[in-house]
Amino acid sequence: MLDYPTLRVIWWLLLGIVLIGFAIMDGFDLGSMALLPWVARNDLEKRMMINSIGPTWEGNQVWFILGGGAIFAAWPYLYAAAFSGFYLAMFIVLAAFILRPVSIKYRSKMPGKTWRNSWDILLMLSGLIPILVFGVAVGNVLLGVPFHFDEMMRFYYTGSFWQLFNPFSLLCGLLSVFMLCMHGAIFLCNKTRDALQNRCRTAAICCAILTFLLFFLNGIWVSRSVPGYVLLSATHMADPSNPLHKLMLIKPNVWFDNYQLHPWWQIVPVSGLIGACATILVVLSRCYKIAMVTSSICLAGIIATVGVSTFPVLLPSSANPSQSLLVWDASSSQLTLWLMLCAGIVFLPIILAYTTWVYRVMRGPITALFFDKKDSKNLY
């Protein structure tokens, strides 16, 4: 069995990988639907966009379930704090996820224009709302969440739902919207042709430019105005989890200290910026398959930047900084982490192999000829 600190770091890395996997795999589904009313000009083009994600969106959503399960099993204190503090926000996200399949199915039940346009708006919201809420949640993680524990380790959240939507968090939400819309537009460039593809190409370029600018602006805001959390004393990294046995303070301009301690970590935010620039150039040259790679690098760099900037903090507490959750004091037991790691080594390759096979089978563009087939009962 690996030692306790090593297992904790491994599961911190795996949590980041799962979140990045969710953003890349389900992100283009959400981004595609968020763009639905803006790039499609008629019902045929909307059907082409919907059918482009039809075979894969349900499987991609498993990454979200996997992320929630990993947090529940590996980081129980983080699960309790995040899912309690962000309860209403998570409820809205789940409602939007439920709305997506309902909208896809029901829009085809009647041919009326008003009927289908109404469901298309709901389908757009089912993609836009989760993207925005996830970005706002990340912004609040950087600012700190108002929670604390009592002496019996009972959790208390002292904030409100509307406090989550502060200026910095909304800016993070906009960054999330544009980067996943960029990813979705590039996916549509690979799956569509002709006029619809050209409009998706324009959307991808605009969203990539805004992603670069907003990520850069967020970095400046964090460096100058967002205070960080400094660990003054803590229990040993191999001790059992207890978030009450440490001392932390809030200080300005400390979220970038990790890059001074580990200069090679600077490649993470740089990869986000380079990925956005490369995406713009590749989309301009119409190499859409390569653009999916550069867009994925951009998403991975931006998401990983939050993780490496805040390490070892998982969820800072603005109400009581000393009760913030760290990698070293918020995990499950050593045996639990070890058993889960063994299970992940067995099952994760199977999931990846199956996902690869599905995308291999469902490759190719969606064109108008796709809807001329007589057997169209499964087309939306």
Express as a percent the part of the chain with pLDDT over 70. Answer: 96
In 3D space, the residue among 231, 257, 258, 227 whose CA is nearest the CA of residue 246 turns out to be: 231
Q: How confident is the model at residue 350 (pLDDT cuts 50, 70, 90)?
A: confident
Query: Higher pLDDT residue, 206 or 110?
Result: 206
Q: Tell whether the model's pLDDT for residue 378 goes beyond 60.
A: no
DSSP letter string over 234-299? E--TTSPP-TTSEEEEEESS-TTHHHHHSGGGGHHHHHHHHHHHHHHHHHHTT-HHHHHHHHHHHH
Quick one: pLDDT at residue 377? 52
Q: Give residue limits of the domains in the chain.
A: 4-371
* 3-state DSSP assignment of residue 156: strand
Quick one: pLDDT at residue 380? 66
Q: Which of 176-185, 189-198, 291-300 has the lowest mean pLDDT?
A: 189-198
Q: Tell whether the model's pLDDT for residue 257 goes beyond 70.
A: yes
The pLDDT of 338-357, averaged and rounded, is 88
* 3-state DSSP assignment of residue 229: strand
- Mention every residue, 6+ apart, whose C-beta is less than 8 A from residue 92: 129, 133
The pLDDT of 242-265, averaged and rounded, is 87
Q: Tell whether the model's pLDDT for residue 62 goes beyond 50.
A: yes
Quick one: pLDDT at residue 374? 46
Q: What is the residue-averaged pLDDT of the chain?
A: 89
Backbone angles phi, psi at 248, to 5 degrees: -135, 150
Express as a percent the part of the chain with pLDDT over 90. Answer: 47
Q: Tell whether the model's pLDDT for residue 356 goes beyond 90.
A: no
* Integer CA distances (angstroms), 47 to 54, 210, 303, in order: 10, 27, 31
- Mention every residue, 6+ apart, whose C-beta is less than 8 A from residue 58: 101
Quick one: pLDDT at residue 372? 59
Q: Do residues 189 and 292 make contact, with C-beta atoms less than 8 angstroms apart?
A: no
The pLDDT of 150-177, averaged and rounded, is 89
Q: Do residues 221 and 171 make contact, with C-beta atoms less than 8 angstroms apart?
A: yes
Burial grade of 343 (CB within 10 A; 0-12, 13-18, 19 or more): exposed
Instruction: Tell me the C-alpha distance between 152 and 11, whole Å.
Output: 26
Residues 2-50 pLDDT 10s: 889 999 999 999 999 999 999 998 899 999 999 998 998 888 889 889 9
The pLDDT of 188-197, averaged and rounded, is 90
Query: Higher pLDDT residue, 67 or 180?
Result: 180
| Tokens standing for residue 5 | 């600190």
- Mention every residue, 6+ apart, whose C-beta is less than 8 A from residue 128: 30, 33, 34, 177
The pLDDT of 98-105, averaged and rounded, is 89
Q: How confident is the model at residue 127 (pLDDT cuts 50, 70, 90)?
A: very high
The pLDDT of 227-236, averaged and rounded, is 81
Length of the chain: 380
Residues 275-332 pLDDT 10s: 999 999 999 999 999 999 999 999 999 999 999 999 999 999 988 898 999 999 889 9
